[in-house]
Amino acid sequence: MFDKIWNQHVITGKVGEPQLMYVDLHLVHEVTSPQAFEGLRENQRRVRRPDKTFATMDHNVPTKDVFNVKDAIAKKQMTTLQHNAEEFGVTLASVGTEDQGIIHVVGPQLGLTQPGKIIVCGDSHTSTHGAFGAIAFGIGTSEVEHVFATQTIWQQKPKTMGIHIHGDLQNGVTAKDIIMALIGQNGFDYFTGYAIEFYGNVIDAMSMEERMTMCNMVIEGGAKMGQMKPDQTTFDYVRGRKYAPRDMAAAIDYWSQFYTDDPSAYDQVMDFDVSTLAPYVTWGTNPGMAIPIDGQFPEPKDINDEKAYKYVGLTPGHSPEEIKLGFAFFGSCTNGRLADLKAAANILKGHHIAPGLTALVVPGSIAIKEAAEAIGLDQIFKDAGCDWRMPGCSACLGMNPDQVPAGVHCASTSNRNFEGRQGAGSITHLASPQMVAAAAIHGHFIDIRKEAI
């Protein structure tokens, strides 16, 4: 599949060397675009294909009092994107507009993300879009400028890895746990540089939301991108969306060629049986420092582990159930979609979060917020004692007012647990929305497979 899409986009160059690739969709946000637009201006260039470029504001946006941006840098980045979008004719889903949200949530939601495309964005979690059977990867700011100016990018073809995901998932075990386990069991750099294709009965049965969660996090294992072959689930998801192809029959006909004929086509293969998989939780300061909920914090194997233990204030040999949580975060481009909010609300319904715990619920987009409100999810969260917010990256990273206080342990549905990621001194524990919901009720993680909540 990877080669089929790749070969259709090569403009010039040989395999083994950088090749010039055509880009079908360029997604943009306020953090990595300012210098790129500035570069165009300095060189008196324009955006070559504004119709293939789409921007949102997400990282800096406050989720409460959204027009009152207090931080000077945040404000500057937001107004700069507004001006740049106007000057260069790029469509921008600005704050307060109906399409606002996290770029990796909004692209798929609007039907911009489609099978067979090459999709880039100045953001590492661009890998999310590979869930549709696209080639989608993050690029740097100088590359953003190149794509603006030429609608092309130089890329060396990555190696491919096929990961066969099979077996039967136990109740309470999710797509998030699969990707966290793959990274936890193999290490945060094991997949470095690979274009991964996930396949097998577990993937076939997944919703687009679940597939996106997995592809979103592949880069936390070092991978260049993740993919799944487009199928009926993909086509049904795209159909009817704002920018979906008008002739869906013709599109589906074209998209249907994108599958891997034979696993021998991959440079490497891996087999992953999910049948005994437990929900996963991270204990440390990179997503590779993850263990099953019924496991124990491991003995430190190097200086990084020792540093991580020092930062998080935990001790080897203990259980994740012993972490005393002060914060829960529901949201991000990993798990801020309607299905994720539904899964969390299902668990929180009729319960209250633990005394002293703060819980933020941040839908990935305005559309998700409205859809959630239409089915009463906001009320379930509020009744449980959670704070229901406007969309944005929020507490996924400390670039806006939503921050986890220093020394506080946060159960989070996001994708990164680096030092200070959710605010200076904050301690992040990544998990699925279901696990975070149960943890919020109890004030500590529990094994949702066995305990009554």
Ligand X SMILES: CC(C)[C@H](C(=O)O)[C@@H](O)C(=O)O
Binding site for [4Fe-4S] cluster, residues?
Answer: 333, 393, 396
| Sheet bearing 325-330, strands edge to edge | 387-388, 358-361, 325-330, 409-412, 427-430
Residue 111 dihedral angles phi and psi, to the nearest 5°: 80, 10
Stretch that binds ligand X, among 47-55, 118-126, 263-271, 284-292 (CB under 6 A): 118-126
> Residue 32 interacts with ligand X (CB under 6 A)?
yes
Per-residue x/- mask for ligand X, residues 72 to 101, rule CB under 6 A? ------------------------------
Contact 156, 140 (CB under 8 A): no
The one of ligand SF4, ligand X, none whose footprint includes residue 179, by CB under 5 to 8 A per kind, is none
The one of ligand SF4, ligand X, none whose footprint includes residue 102, by CB under 5 to 8 A per kind, is ligand SF4
Contact 195, 2 (CB under 8 A): yes
Q: Which residues contact 301 (CB under 8 A, 6 or more apart)?
A: none
The one of ligand X, ligand SF4, none whose footprint includes residue 426, by CB under 5 to 8 A per kind, is none
The span from the CA of 370 to the CA of 377, in Å, is 10
The span from the CA of 339 to the CA of 341, in Å, is 6
Stretch that binds ligand X, among 71-79, 119-127, 201-209, 280-288 (CB under 6 A): 119-127
Q: Which of residues 196-225 bind ligand SF4 (CB under 6 A)?
A: none
Contact 111, 244 (CB under 8 A): yes
> Residue 422 interacts with ligand X (CB under 6 A)?
no
In the complex, minimum distance from the CB of residue 34 to ligand X, in angstroms, rounded to a whole number = 12
The one of ligand SF4, ligand X, none whose footprint includes residue 127, by CB under 5 to 8 A per kind, is none
Using CA atoms of 283, 286, 288, 292 in order, give the dihedral in degrees to the nearest 10: 20
Q: Which residue number has the CB closest to ligand X? A: 124
> Residue 31 interacts with ligand X (CB under 6 A)?
yes
User: CA-CA distances (angstroms) from residue 14 to 22, 141, 265, 311, 444?
Assistant: 15, 25, 19, 46, 53
Give the type of residue at 254. Y
User: CA-CA distances (angstroms) from residue 208 to 177, 219, 335, 420, 437?
Assistant: 16, 18, 12, 31, 22
The span from the CA of 169 to the CA of 325, in Å, is 27
The one of ligand X, ligand SF4, none whose footprint includes residue 94, by CB under 5 to 8 A per kind, is none
State both tokens at 82: 């507004």
The one of ligand X, ligand SF4, none whose footprint includes residue 32, by CB under 5 to 8 A per kind, is ligand X
Q: Which of residues 308-327 bind ligand X (CB under 6 A)?
A: none
Per-residue x/- mask for ligand SF4, residues 108 to 137, rule CB under 6 A? ---------------x-x------------
In the complex, minimum distance from the CB of residue 347 to ligand SF4, in angstroms, rounded to a whole number = 22
The span from the CA of 339 to the CA of 327, in Å, is 22
In the complex, minimum distance from the CB of residue 234 to ligand X, in angstroms, rounded to a whole number = 24
The one of ligand X, ligand SF4, none whose footprint includes residue 138, by CB under 5 to 8 A per kind, is ligand X
In the complex, minimum distance from the CB of residue 394 to ligand SF4, in angstroms, rounded to a whole number = 7
Among residues 40, 102, 281, 359, the one that binds ligand SF4 under rule CB under 6 A: 102
> Residue 123 interacts with ligand X (CB under 6 A)?
yes
Per-residue x/- mask for ligand SF4, residues 383 to 422, rule CB under 6 A? ----------x--xx----------------xx-------
**Any alpha helices (H) in 113-156, and if so which ranges?**
141-150
Give the type of residue at 35. Q
In the complex, minimum distance from the CB of residue 332 to ligand X, in angstroms, rounded to a whole number = 8
**Any alpha helices (H) in 1-71, and if so which ranges?**
2-9, 34-42
- The region that residue 11 occupies, defined by phi over 0 for left and psi between -120 and 50 for alpha, beta otherwise, is alpha
- Displacement of CA 54 from its chain's centroid (Å): 18
Angle at 131 between CA 126 and CA 137, to 5 degrees: 25
Per-residue x/- mask for ligand X, residues 132 to 151, rule CB under 6 A? ------x-------------
> Residue 59 interacts with ligand X (CB under 6 A)?
yes
In the complex, minimum distance from the CB of residue 417 to ligand X, in angstroms, rounded to a whole number = 12
Q: For residues 26 and 59, which CB has a smaller minimum distance to ligand X in the complex?
A: 59
Total residues contacting ligand SF4 by CB under 6 A comes to 13
Q: For residues 114 and 414, which CB has a smaller minimum distance to ligand SF4 in the complex?
A: 414
User: CA-CA distances (angstroms) from residue 215 to 247, 370, 435?
Assistant: 27, 25, 20
Residue 143 dihedral angles phi and psi, to the nearest 5°: -70, -35
- Residues in contact with ligand X by CB under 6 A are 31-32, 59, 123-125, 138, 397
- Residues in contact with ligand SF4 by CB under 6 A are 58-59, 102, 104, 123, 125, 332-333, 393, 396-397, 414-415
